[in-house]
A = this chain, B = another copy of it.
């Protein structure tokens, strides 16, 4: 992080604002407290009618954050009390980070460097009692797909590869499920590459994997929506995206998925600007460049009641911890009532028609309709 950057948003030579840590920090530093509270109500929502509470973390977690200079935030989502179920509170964590070494370093050093960098952050999650931790997309490597160079595929691993071994020990040590999104090479199917989240159970076993429908770039929010049919109560969206491409969408898509599907969403974006040795173009008519842009971090959680946590830093590595009472999911399904009235068979029928090659959308226009209705 550039140390000259002001916490309150500093005006730089071209008149633009740089270097603020997050939108919420920018607003809280520049608005009167009562104004900030109202702006927060509109931007962050309120959780069961209350502001989100801070979680008190053990000193050992805070010490790791100070020593290794990463952002550490911890916030609690509550739910209403129920008569027939007890609260089901899970402590969940997200990690965002920059790469450890320049992209010109030997690949194995780059990977080991990231392992070493992540270790104290995962330790902090562990000592803070996190039950489920998710890392960022393709966390073992720079996000080199923008270069279109194939050599970066060397970072791919089978799901039980080096990164899994590194995490399995920590998962077991801290009794913590770890979701590990990597570039996967499927050795059993002709070395096919996948964008895969490996799920390491709290006993250190690999208990599952999820392969994205979309290969690294171009990950749509529909990816999230398709989880509504499962029994999901938390969906993680590990991603890698830069300011110009998506920053205004960042507070929108995940929150919408949480609201529309009545589940929690964890959104993770990596941090920093990754500079590559060979220049490349991005298909947008702009001159060639050696970096894809600034990965703006800003990882956060969203809840079914439209509330969300503030975001982690736009510049620093970070660990976001959140307690979630999963009972909130069903409470919001019942509150909105769509599960009483939803007509999934209508959507199924529509989609079946839509995928037929001879599908024609209904288009009405004045002369046609006027004739047929007269």
Cβ–Cβ contact B230 & A362, under 8 A: yes
Which residues in window 20-55 of A have CB below 8 A to B? Answer: 20, 23, 26-27, 30-32, 34-35, 37-39, 41-46, 49
Residues in B neighbouring A348, C-beta threshold 8 A:
348, 351-352, 354-355
Residue from the list B42, B218, B337 in contact with A247, Cβ < 8 A: B42
Q: Using C-beta atoms within 8 Å of the partner chain, give the interface range for chain A.
A: 35 or more
Copies of this protein chain in the complex: 2
Measured between C-beta atoms, what is the minimum distance from A79 to chain B in Å?
15
| Proximity bits, A347-374, B CB within 8 Å = 1, else 0 | 1101110110000011111100110000
Q: Does A338 contact B (CB under 8 A)?
A: yes
Residue A336 is within 8 A (CB to CB) of chain B in the complex: yes
Q: Is A148 an interface residue (CB 8 A)?
A: no
Question: Does any Cβ of B come within 8 Å of A255's Cβ?
Answer: yes
CB pair B343–A347 under 8 Å, yes or no, is no
Q: Does A153 contact B (CB under 8 A)?
A: no
Decide if A38 touches B26 in the complex (CB within 8 Å): yes
Q: Please tell me if the beta carbons of B260 and A41 are within 8 angstroms of each other in the complex.
A: no
Shortest A301–chain B CB gap in Å is 15
A248–B202 touching, CB < 8 Å: no
In the complex formed, the residue of B with least CB distance to A204 is B366
State whether the Cβ of A203 lies closer than 8 Å to any Cβ in chain B. Answer: yes
Q: Name the CB-closest residue of B to A29.
A: B35
